[in-house]
Structure 1
Amino acid sequence: MAGPLLERWSDALFSWFDRAAADLTDSGLDATDIAELVRVADRNRAVLDEVAEPRLLHGDLWVGNTMLADGAPEPVITGVFDCDRTWWGDPEADWPIYLALKKPGSERDAFWSSYGPVRRTEHARWRAMVYEAKHATALLLEFHRFGWDEELAKTYEEIRELTARLAD
């Protein structure tokens, strides 16, 4: 894994946002909302830095990116693919966790029975909004590449709404 070596989770997260903002700018998109998000989140840097022990995050872990053992009575993962989004940090910041949380009461509940519940303290809920904004920021480039202007506009609005909620 390449990238800067940083001592605090907030530094790693803000570095990610800085690189994403640069990518947006390079693609001709506006990164002003991202800069404002980071400015607001920086006020509660200590809440982010409560995450003191980083975990390996895959960034795109789902069935299609796993190799399963053939013939095992229960699925056994023997390999993991597509690791270009791998980094270190808070497990709750990982894309698959974000997706699993978005559809409670579905087949994704099987994941939670093995993974365990996500703790939702006031600080964890605040961090989750920052992580949601991170995922929305990543989607901006995807929507731009596909020419999905309506989704792009909705996502910018989502980031502005999250920034306002973080500021409260």
Structure 2
Amino acid sequence: MVSGIEWAAFLPSAILLAATPGANQMLILRNGLRHGPRPAISASIGRFTAFALMVVAVAAGLGAVLTASEVAFNALLDPAAPEPVITGVLDFDRTWFGDPAADWTIRMATAKADEREAFWESYGVLDRSPAAMWRARVYEARHLGAIRLECHRLAKADAVRESYGAMAEVLAGLT
């Protein structure tokens, strides 16, 4: 359990982090500008309620349990099943269960031959087997999809158009 002294340090830090503008606050501001203050206030109350529940869960020690267990963190299990049965996945990025090639960092480290080459000196060599190369193309398609969505969100129509060729090339390599 968390002591009083730890709460004194944790709670103000957590509130400061929660109040720091990020994706949630930007969404609340955008919705407030588009739909008025009532939906923004409602979303803000919901967000802070969820945050309060997370603070309580972490204080109770649940954070350590969740981060130590890939299944608990990534999958919904059927509680009525006689043995574990996955009924849903919570977080797409974490469903690759330990394949480093799926990570954005690896994609960026392989994107150009520049000072990033130093990364491989300490990381080691990537698996270049046929199966690993096929998975890398799947991951690249996923990354290109994310980049395309971001370009669309930023109204970069030319970049969205350019992404179709890159995606077609990657998808052709999967067949």
Calculate the TM-score normalised by the size of structure 2: 0.46
Structure with the larger RCO, 1 or 2 (CA within 8 Å, 6+ apart): 1
Q: Could you say which structure has the larger radius of gyration? A: 2
Calculate the TM-score normalised by the size of structure 1: 0.48
